[in-house]
Each structure stands twice: as C-alpha cells, then as structure tokens.
Structure 1
C-alpha cells in the first residue's frame, strides 16, 4: 500500500483590477465632455491618443459644441508665400496667443482634389464656421469660381460660380447674404458692378451700382454698429449721430511701432475687438519685410468728449523677415 501525500492547497491569486481606460468609455460620453472644453486646448488633447485626435477632428465634436453654444472665435490668416522652387503657394494659419505673444500657428492643410489653393487676388468672407473664397486670378485670368473652406474639418467644397469673373473684388456678409463688389473691367462695371449670393437659395443675382459712390477705400471693419477705418494713416471711427469721422484715442503704442514705411493690410472684428495687421519694410534688408499684429479693445467715454478709447492688449511681430513677394490674402474671424 502506497501513501499518496496530499498536496497543499493552492493559494488563490488575487486578480488586480486594471484601472479603467479611455477605450472603455463610450465615444458619445467623451465627445460631450470634450465639447465643453475650450478649443484652444484641443491641440494638446489630440496628443493623448490617436482615438482622441480622431474624435477632436470629427464633425460630432462640432455638432455637440453647437448644441451647448460653446463656440470660439478663431482668427484664420492666409499668406501667399514663396517656396524654394521659386513658385508661390497659399498657407493657412491660426493667429493665437502663445507664451504671452501673438503667433501664427500652421493649420493642417485643407485637402481637395478639385480645388487649386494657389488662387491670388481673391476676396473672402467668414460665414459662421466657414470661409467663402470668391474669384481671383488663375494663371493671370480672372475667375468666377467660388470655394468654401469648412474650418471645422479643414476641407474644401465647391459653391455656385459668380456671374462675372472678378479679381481684387471686395466683399462683406450681411443678413445671410454675401455681397461682392468690383473686381471687373470698367465696361463690365456699368452693368455688373456687384452681385449678391443668397445662402438660402444658393443663387447669385446682379447688384446695381448706386448713383453715388460713398465707399471706404482703405482697410475697414465694423464692430457692432460702429465702423472703424484707417484714414490718413490714423485709425478712426464713424460717429453716425454727428456724421463725422473721429480719431480713436489710446493707440500711441501702435503708432510708435508702425514706422513710416509700414502699410496697414487689414482691420478685423474679432469677438468685438479690433485686430490691426500691417507690414513693415526692413531698412537694412530691403528684400524683406515683417508682419505685425495688434489687438485692441474699446470703451466709449462720454466726458470730456464723446470719443472712442482703445486699449492695446497685445502688439508684436508675428512673421519676421518675410520675403518681399509675400502677400496676406485674408484674415478672418471664424466661429468654431
């Protein structure tokens, strides 16, 4: 008879619980959470994982943000820059704050097989989260083409062509309609001075030329019900009650940094603040110039005089030593 020793009982191994991962959380919960965060943090959050990056660039995140009214105003800047091959191309940037300075951050390239990004002398307007680009020159020929950049997905789509080919035209957005003025020959201007695009019907209609031409020729923009413009190298606002143009006070820093050889490129309404963009030639390197930007907030003082006072919140160079052939195509404030 053999003795079979009884094996000692095995110790139960306690299974350690793994901490929950993001992959176990439903996508709709993550999207609804991210929608409540400012879009300025999305660039950092996209580095968490590929899945996060995918969700942050999907239409779902913007739909969720729109439902709760959490939209941010972002400045989109388009520059026409030379390339090493001696050609030029458009590049899109966001103008944002970084370490207390205004800086240009490259935007992920907008892709479209049917869109040529290098169309110079076009005119652009912002409509909510989209940018409409109209006309311009393609191989020195004017074009009627209209393209739309969706700033949420950074993709392009086609829109109905204008009735007249235009370049160097001017445009503005008002009451769900886009107005495009000029940019054609003098012969054409008599009949087709401008045209208007109805967003609801997606159709263009001619805009007759008014009998008197009271347009502002220099850079301008409207903030609320006030028009701001550059006149005689001074930044001014239009007092509609008195029918007079008055100088905006408090902009001494901008005038100090903007030399005599500077040229104001654009004035932009960005979330109720005035963004002033200008370029300045370098005295020693005459083949180059720099791009400057200032952000100005306003208050209206009733005493001792009814005037507009500006507070320069930020003012610095955003693009240094740019080649003289560069051009700023557009700067627009978009809600995303």
Structure 2
C-alpha cells in the first residue's frame, strides 16, 4: 500500500452521520443560514435536513433566526436576473451569495414580505392569468395563490395590516387613456378582495409607513399623530407623490413629499429614505410626522465614493439602511453600505446622522 493511501485510510471518518438525527439537527441549527448552501453537498441526508421543518423549528427555539436581505441583480450582457443574499463574513466583511431560486418564480418584479413568505409579482405581469407564487423563506418551498383579479403591467406592491396592495397599468404605458388599478390581496384568507381604479400614473416606487414609533424618536408623539402616519402607502408617478389611506380607501397628493422626485426609496423607523442621484447625490430623508425633508449627515465619504454611480438601490434590514450603488458608469462592480441612523436636535432643528 502506498504512503498516500495509508494517510487517507488513517484519517478518522466524520462522526456526525453516526449521531442520532435529533443531535445532528441541533448541530446544524446553529450553523449560519448563509452556509446552508454548501450543506446539501455533504450528502443527500443533509440536503433533506436543510429544508426540513424540524431544522427550522429548532432554529426558532434556539433563537438562531436571522434577518436576511435579498437582492436581485441583472446582467446586462446576458439579460439574466439572479437572486442573492447579503451575508456577513467572519471578518465582518459583507458579500452577496447566490442562492437557489424556485423555478417558475420571477427573478425581477415587485416582491413583498409577509411573515415568513415572499410574494412575487412579475414586473410586466406576463403571467397575470397564472397563480401568484409565494415562497416560504424557511424551507424554499413555493405555494401558489389565486391569480390576480386584474390585468396590470409594471406593478408595485406594499403591505398594510397583512394585506398586499398592488398597483399597475391596465393598458399600455404610452396610451394617455390608460388607467391605474389597485388590487388587494388578503394574506390571511388568501383571497383577492377588490380591484379599483386609482388616480396615479405609472408608479415609480412604493413604500409603507407602519404603525410603529421609533425608539430613537426625540420627543413624545401623541396617539393622534401616530394614527395620522400609521399604515399608509406612499407612491409617486412622473409628476406627483401620493398617499393612500386604506381606512379612507382613497389617494391624496402630498405637496411636501413632492418636493423631490424620490425613487427606489425604503422606510426605516417610519422615515422614508432615498439616494438622490440627480440633486447633489445625497441621502435624503422624509419624516411624515413633520412633513419635512432633511439631508442625512455624516455620509460625506460614502457620497464621494458613489459620485460616479448611475444606479443605486436602498433597502432596510434589522433597523438599518442598506445602500447599493454601482462603482462607476460602466457598472463593473457593486458597492454596499450598511448605515446606522441616529436622530438629534441641533440649534432647534432635527437632524439625522448616518
């Protein structure tokens, strides 16, 4: 026998497969979710365990749940879109990890999260006659819900009180007689409730202010003020910004919000943030309680890094704002920043620092 074979035979076999299954599940439940993509390569048994209900029940019991930020990236050369997750490495660096995505689920479109499920609405709604897929993030399984009760293109969606509000075109975008329609899906009953026409044009973004008061708020906010801001959907078209109140069932314009053509925004602690790529390349914030815009300070270096970018995206994860932008005009790389936010008073004015 050669020396190399002796060395291989002297290596102790892995003991994990010899353990009882409940102990294996207990061990795997402590592994970071980002590493689960490699576990199925170990064996077929591991592949089945990674998607098992027992594993995720154990993770929840141990408090090993993680907040995950999903990112869909497009390749201009291949026109393909692939989903990634932003993962934190052991050296505190972040990287985007390609993840498996269920078949027949759109890779680009409007995605909303309700509980443990992601509902996917195709950007062009090419499959409006087909059921809408929802992905259970815990097990990467797909459940189909009833097809939408309206045909629309370029749809955007938001969630208020476990209901998904989807808006989009009923006709081709360049037709001046085209109408916007809003469809409402109740995630608890799994039924489409209504489809009504709206007053807005092509939606360029959609964010929702929830019934939540930030612990970093600098003053006491009355219940009346909370009710005024809570559970409303904000969107804009090419000209105006609008606010939708589901209790009233109607859209209204918002002149203060309309001061800037915000796009690709997100909400953190009931404040709207967006990266103004046209007006000075700054991070702007809109507080609906005070109907005021401010520039987030403390990000001068970050803004300098992104001065040559022509594309960007903002998102929220675990109470922080995440900003993605291209490294240059050729989009040869992507940079990301995770931003902690702090609200302060300075000389009688409110400031937000990042």
State how 1:310-329 maps to structure 2 within 5 Å.
310=354
Structure number, greater radius of gyration: 1
TM-score using structure 1 length: 0.70
Q: TM-score, normalised by structure 2?
A: 0.67
Matches within 5 A, 1:167-206: 167-185=153-171, 187=177, 189=179, 193-204=181-192, 205-206=194-195
1:222 aligns with 2:222: no
- Within the candidate set 22, 25, 32, 1:28 is matched to 22
Residue in 2 aligned with 1:129? 116
Q: Which has a greater percent of strand?
A: 1
User: Aligned to 2:319, which of 265, 268, 272?
Assistant: 272
Shift of 1:100: 4.3
Q: Provide the rounded CA distance (Å) in 1 between the counterparts of 2:251 and 2:85.
A: 40
Are the structure 2 counterparts of residues 257 and 53 from structure 1 closer, same or farther at C-alpha, using a change threshold of 3 Å?
A: same
1:257 Cα shift? 0.7
Q: How far 1:78 sits from its partner (Å)?
A: 1.7
Deviation at 1:297?
A: 0.8
2:110–2:156: 8 Å Cα contact kept in structure 1?
Answer: yes
Change (3 A) 1:171 1:21: same
Q: Which runs of 5+ in 1 are unaligned?
A: 1-17, 311-336
Superposed, which structure 2 residues align to 1:152-163 within 5 Å? 152-163=138-149
* Residue 249 of structure 1, aligned match among 297, 300, 320: 297
**Is the counterpart of residue 95 in structure 1 residue 64 in structure 2?**
no
Aligned residues, how many?
276
Matched position secondary structure for 2:340: strand
Pairwise CA distance, 1:289: 4.0
CA, structure 1 residues 144+222, in 2 after alignment: closer, same or farther (shift >3 Å)? farther
- Residue by residue over 1:256-295, the C-alpha shift from the partner in whole angstroms, topping out at 9 and shown as x without a partner, is 011245232x21111111011223544xxx5x54322211
- What CA distance in whole angstroms lies between the structure 1 residues aligned with 2:122 and 2:106? 12
1:308 matches 2:297: no
Q: Alpha carbon RMSD of aligned pairs, Å?
A: 3.1
User: Could you list the per-position Cα deviations for residues 89-136 of structure 1 after superposition, in whole angstroms to 9, with x for gaps in the alignment?
Assistant: 3322112234543322111242x4xx2646x5x211122332211133
Task: Describe the shift of the 1:308–1:44 C-alpha distance in structure 2 as closer, same or farther (beyond 3 A).
Answer: same
Bigger relative contact order (CA 8 A; separation at least 6): 1
Measure the CA separation in 1 of the matches of 2:32 and 2:105: 32
**1:143 paired residue number:** 128
Corresponding position: 1:213 with 2:207? no
Contact 2:152 2:181 in 1 (8 A): no
